[in-house]
Structure 1
Amino acid sequence: MIRKLALLAAIGVVLAPLPLLLPPAQEAVAVRALLFAMMAVAWNLMSGFGGLFSFGHAAYFGLGAYTTALLTVRLGVSPWIGLLAGTVMAALFGMVTGYLAVRYRLKGAYFALATFAFAEMLRLAALNSTLVGGAVGLTLPVTGEQGWLTLRFDVGDPAYFWLALLLTLASMATVIVLLNGKAGLNLLAVREDETAAAAAGVDVIRHKLMAIGVSAALTSLAGGFYAVYYLFVGPDLAFGPSMSIQAILPAVIGGVGTIWGPLIGAAVLAPLSDVAATLVRTPPEFLAFLQGRSGLDVVLYALLLITVVLALPRGLYGTLAGRRR
């Protein structure tokens, strides 16, 4: 654990000067990579290490985003309080809905469909609620006092990158400490064989709910940061299936069930999205037919995912680490 935390701190030190060296457009890509990493780290805890495949992490992301936006817009409180409240809301929602799914022994595809259904339920509720702006969503104020207290900075300010980096490192550290303790070992035992773990005295339901609650809380941090950074939250965006997919893809490409896989996957996917946008906007002459067409990033994601699944079934980091061992 100490070695992993030391490596994590070293990664933070290396990445900290990055926004001072990158142009604004590339800094935005780096921030998006950290956002992907936050979501993937949280999803990987529940689905990779906990064995509870989730296709509804958008529920926790949206709760974090909406809670932060709602408290900031309606009550004028600090976004820090919104981030904290969002983690509590998402953790409670995750454990309550998770208990319903686990209690009635939903597994595999059935559990994944249950998580998707809960996310869709929240999306429809937000879509028809005037409190959170309905289909229009919530727009955070762009004026007012700037600084770390309000988490409001000028466009392109490196503080946004440092905030995303801080939240990502905190999420990673939480997962590392959890997995290297007794609770983490019990969680891995439950993932490998529930019956054997229960026979050894492990409380299966409690450890599953722990993984769901912590994963939900960490995902809500990504949602709260999204609201602060983009200054807008909408139901289809926050609770939509695409947000759940963005939590899954970096972990799958980097390596499900590994500590560093989600970070590597996010570092690959975020620039890929920027490359796709550039090709659509100003393609070279031999790719002129791509100009103005949407969905190219999805096609590239699909091709990369197919390649990784076929050639590197354990992901980039998982396969390389396995060969090294």
Structure 2
Amino acid sequence: MAATADTRANTPANTPANTPANTASRTPAKARSGLARMEQRWGMLFALPVVAGFLLFTAGPMLASFVISLTDWTIGGKTSWVGLDNYQRMFGEDDLFTKSLRVTLYYTMLAVPLTLVAGFVVALLLNRDIRGRGLFRVLYYLPVLVPSVAGAVLWTWIYNPEFGLLNQVLRGIGLPTSQWIYDSSSAVPSLAIMAAWGFGNAAVIFLAGLQGVPRHLYEAIETDGGGPWAKFRYVTVPMMTPTIFYNLVMGLIATFQVFNEAYVMTSGGPDNATLFYNFYLYRTAFTEGRLGYASALAWILFLLVLVATSLVFRSARRWVYYESGEAR
């Protein structure tokens, strides 16, 4: 009995492990921890299809194409490991690679500015309070809804030098006609004009950006005695630079991958004048059957797009401005 009394006397009455307060505070912590683990498991479960899809249909094929680019795999023939020979041949011996790269860059320098200017001008007009504004917005967006192949067939007829719509109009007003896509000097500019016809997506994004420009900035210009030009120069253009930047990047990526126009309208001609890079890649892979070399071309295209967009992002620090007035 004395030993028991001494043990009880030496044991603190308010030991943390035995206090009701600590027991009560520990239970919600366990519950919260269990809830967090359950949410984490469910989050991983819902993200699993996306991650699996990326690994199976994006990362996996990219890795496989890189391995294939290091071989001389030809459909129906033997496959052997060649290392970097495909890349060396591309930059040293393949004149069509250089030609397709020049054609694609030329098309990009024409099509992207034309599309941006056309979309921006139309967005400025559609942003005005005019009668039938909704109808005009629908009409200007309709070309985007036309399938690209159908649009290519339509423009093939428009560009026909014998009975095409454009030459008929030019003859009617007494101006000289053109061979359009059937002449090597005018083929790429003609396709760039066709690309500008589909400015609807850029116009819609520009219109959304214009409607987000704060009205009080225009009122400040009016207070200082500025007119429409001052509003456009000092408010509209600076506040629209993030939208211009977005459309520029998306247009740049799209023009580097142009394909349908060459495939449907010109087959890369005349005299390889419209041998776009993507069309050359397709022809190498599925017409000539050289899958190893085509995979190397695909990786060079990926690097070209990556470098081009990176340069645009770096330049954005100097000309893209946000409402805070700071460039990013």
TM-score by length of 2: 0.28
Larger radius of gyration: 2
Which protein has greater RCO, CA pairs closer than 8 Å, 6+ apart? 1
